[in-house]
Structure 1
Amino acid sequence: MIDDTARDPSSKIWYALPGGYFDVPIDALDPMPGSEQETHLDQVLALVLDVVPEDQRDRYASALRDVRYMAAQMRSEGVVACSLGMHYADDGSAVMSVFTVALRDIEWAPAKITAVRAVSVRECQEEIELLTLPGDRPASISDTVITMPALAGVPSQDLYQCNLYIPTPSGAQLGVLTLSSTAVGSRKHYRDMMEGIAHTVSFHDPLPEIERVVRGAGPDRPSDGIQDSIVADFG
């Protein structure tokens, strides 16, 4: 299934996610001040608060402010997409994860050096691995488990985090794909999933090639080698 966002002409990065992930509209949650989008957001938030019991209104208002603040923080750090995942663990319990994609401007360097450098500056790097993506593109991946400090009303807990680093063809930007989850027992599953996602990442629109493969006939039909490559990357 191809999401509508894949056809956004302003897109700078494409990737495939497994089922169970839902986009968070961070742009809509952090509109430009004075814009029409900000007016619409304020109207929606007002409607939400109107249906909340009066004794809980302050708590909901605070939570909504926190959401807007987090959206602004993500955008300030170059995050261009965010998705929430809900899946079932092996024991039948529900597990959640957060997946983000960021594009960061970097000083130019050969792609392989950029991939190595990106993963080596992590403070808590574990299980570091260099990847070779389709087209012999270099990338790197690392994951770790960190302990989050206790906050008001929230006990201390372990958090699993996996990071992918993929340099753009120009060498002037770095794609950083991050998955975070408190389901540390599913670490291997998430690591394998992120490696699979890495092989679908593209910095040019792959849809025309994919759609030619889907049609599978006529003069636009790609060679078997290209078709095999696309199937391997996108399923």
Structure 2
Amino acid sequence: MIDDTARDPSSKIWYALPAGFFGIPIDALDPEPGTEQETRLEQALALVLDLAPEDQRDRYTGALRDVRFMAAQMRSEGVIACSLGMHYADDGSSASSVFTVALRDIDWAPAKITAVRAASLRESGENVGLLTLPGGRPASICDTMITMPALAGIPSQDLYQCNLYVPAPSGTQLGVLTLSSTAVGSRKHYRDMMEGIAHTVSFYDPMPEIERAVRGDTADGTSSIADDIASDFG
């Protein structure tokens, strides 16, 4: 399935996600003040609150406020896309995750140096690995475990986080793809999945090439295309 965003002429980075992820419109959740988008958001939130049980109205109001704050925070940190994932872990339990994509401007450097530097300089980053993507492009991956402090009504819990760093061909931008999940027992599956996602990252529109391959118009005369990313969660 090809998401509509793949055909967005304003896109700056392309990637494929396995089944089980759905996009969150962070731009729509953090509109510019005074715009039509803000008016529509306010109307939508008012509708949600009208449908909320009277004794839980304050709880819903707080949750919606937190969602808007998180969207604004992500955008301020350069996040341009966000998706929520839901899969089944090996033990049959559900494993939820958050996947984000950020595009950062950087000083020019050879791509391999940028990839290694980005992963090695990450605070508390572990298991740093260098990847070779299609076309011989370098990328890096690292992951770590973070202990989240206890909050009001929420106990302390461990969080698994995996980061991909993919330098753009220009050498002046860096794609940062991050997956976070409290399903720490599935960390190996998530790391394998992120490595699969890395091989789909592109900084130019891949759709014409994909469509030619689907039609069987590949350069070598074959009709095969790269295997779909498969989640290890069943």
TM-score interval for Structure 1 and Structure 2 normalised by the shorter chain: over 0.9
Which residue does the alignment assign to 1:165?
165
Instruction: Write the distance in 2 (CA, Å) between the matches of 1:84 and 1:234.
Output: 17
Which residue does the alignment assign to 1:57?
57
Instruction: Write the distance in 2 (CA, Å) between the matches of 1:169 and 1:227.
Output: 28
User: Following TM superposition, by how much is the alpha carbon of 1:224 offset from its aligned partner in structure 2, in angstroms?
Assistant: 2.5
Q: Is the 8 A contact 2:18 2:229 kept in 1?
A: no
Query: CA 1:226 to 1:234, structure 2 compared with 1: closer, same or farther past 3 Å?
Result: farther
Which residue does the alignment assign to 1:38?
38
Identity %, equivalent residues: 80
Matches within 5 A, 1:130-141: 130-141=130-141
Matches within 5 A, 1:63-142: 63-142=63-142
Give deviations 1:153-193, integer Å, cap 9, x for gaps: 11011100000000111111100000000011101100000
| Structure with greater contact order relative to length (CA < 8 Å, sep ≥ 6) | 2
Which residue does the alignment assign to 2:214?
214
Q: Is the 8 A contact 1:30 1:71 kept in 2?
A: yes
User: Following TM superposition, by how much is the alpha carbon of 1:123 offset from its aligned partner in structure 2, in angstroms?
Assistant: 1.4
SS at match of 2:188: helix
Instruction: Write the distance in 1 (CA, Å) between the matches of 2:129 and 2:169.
Output: 20
SS at match of 1:127: strand
Please give the TM-score of this superposition, normalised by the length of structure 1. 0.94
RMSD: 1.5
Which residue does the alignment assign to 1:148?
148
Mind listing any 5+ residue stretches in structure 2 that lack a counterpart? Answer: none
Which residue does the alignment assign to 2:202?
202
Query: CA 1:205 to 1:163, structure 2 compared with 1: closer, same or farther past 3 Å?
Result: same
SS at match of 2:135: coil
Q: Which amino acid aligns with 2:2?
A: I
1:223 aligns with 2:219: yes
Query: CA 1:40 to 1:165, structure 2 compared with 1: closer, same or farther past 3 Å?
Result: same
User: Following TM superposition, by how much is the alpha carbon of 1:55 offset from its aligned partner in structure 2, in angstroms?
Assistant: 1.9
Mind listing any 5+ residue stretches in structure 1 that lack a counterpart? Answer: none
